[in-house]
Chain A
Amino acid sequence: MSKIKTKPKEENKTPMVKIYIMGAVHEVPASLTIMKAMEYAGFKITRGAGCRAGFCGACATVYRKAGDYRIYAALACQTQVEDGMVLTQLPFVPAPKGKYDINKISPTANTILKFYPEVARCLSCNACSKVCPQEIHVMDYVQYALQGQISKAADESFDCVQCGLCTIRCPAEIPQYHVATLVRRLHGRYTMISPETLEARVEEIEAGFYEEGLKELMNLSEDKLRHKYYHERDFIDQKKA
């Protein structure tokens, strides 16, 4: 992050609030998100911004509110500024990451403990769940992983965007979001029932069922291909539907 310029002060009718970015006061429009407010204040965000739609988890932010002892955490692109907010962004969360070959491990509690032994230190304090911007029951899935209930842990952690806030808050120093990745991989590889229709389709493809059709398409001229794509294709017309 680098400060590049300050916006000249001018008449502004939109309601403004005062926020403190890394301790320095800035006046910003009250309607902005934290991320937009930082940019409005002149910060160029080079790390810690991604989709800007609450899906990627790149923009973890911690803040305090005026007159409130609590430390809050959120995604900067999803949270509106408030008057008196003191904030900073966390562009990166250092967390150890296990290295494994998914085909050589088993969906058990011992696998979790092998790559993330810290999981056994969980105190059930629930600090991770309280801080999660996705409102995931983080502590619960860490516990399910410790109990070897891999599928349950995978389901519970499904909405994780890997912002890393849980890891920053954990007194047992567990990298929860990496544990979550491991349980979901184990679930996908070993415990999830694979859909029959998908397997049948893969078999069809491998048996060469579509080869001829594809070849035919490849040999068409661009005009004919265009015609096929726009006029002959079987699709729902959104306007008529």
Chain B
Amino acid sequence: MKLAKYAKFRQEKFGGVLFETRSERVYALNATGAAIVREIGAGCDELALVDRMNDRFRDSGGSIEREVIAFTANLRQQGLIEE
């Protein structure tokens, strides 16, 4: 899993922005979304991503896994990440 060819990420104080330059769409991310996208940009796969977010946010209820999966599915649907 990696950022799509035309997707550019930049960290911001509020979280981050994802800019899909082919469609010229811009997406704002909150801090959590930015953390996930940063890991994806670093080449992290989905399983490792869940582990890292669990470590970072110390969740034991399984909500992180659900949120990460839903969020990455959303990114994939928008063409912002690819395998």
Q: Do A and B come from one complex?
A: no
